[in-house]
Amino acid sequence: MIIPYQDLAQATLENLIEEFVTREGTDYGEYELSLQDKVSSVKQGLTTGELVILFIDSTQSVNIIKKEQLG
């Protein structure tokens, strides 16, 4: 289920994005970005619709993915 980012409280959204960008295996290319730069990049992706917040019912977890991955 897709969760519109606008439906989340600002603090919840911030915490979700920070948890996502600090996960092991999250790759941002050839150079390292600051936490704030990573958070800003994800926020921009959510705003433009390139990224979506996905709730996975079977695992009761949340992930942020590219919209194109939904198939």
The model's pLDDT over 7-31, given as tens digits with 9 standing for 90+, comes to 999 999 999 999 998 886 656 566 6
Domain range holding 59?
2-70
The answer to whether the CB of 52 falls within 8 A of the CB of 67 is: yes
CATH number where 6 lies = 1.10.10.610
Q: pTM (2 decimals)?
A: 0.84
pLDDT beyond 90 at 35: no
- How far apart, in whole angstroms, are the C-alpha atoms of residue 45 and residue 32? 18
Number of domains in the chain: 1
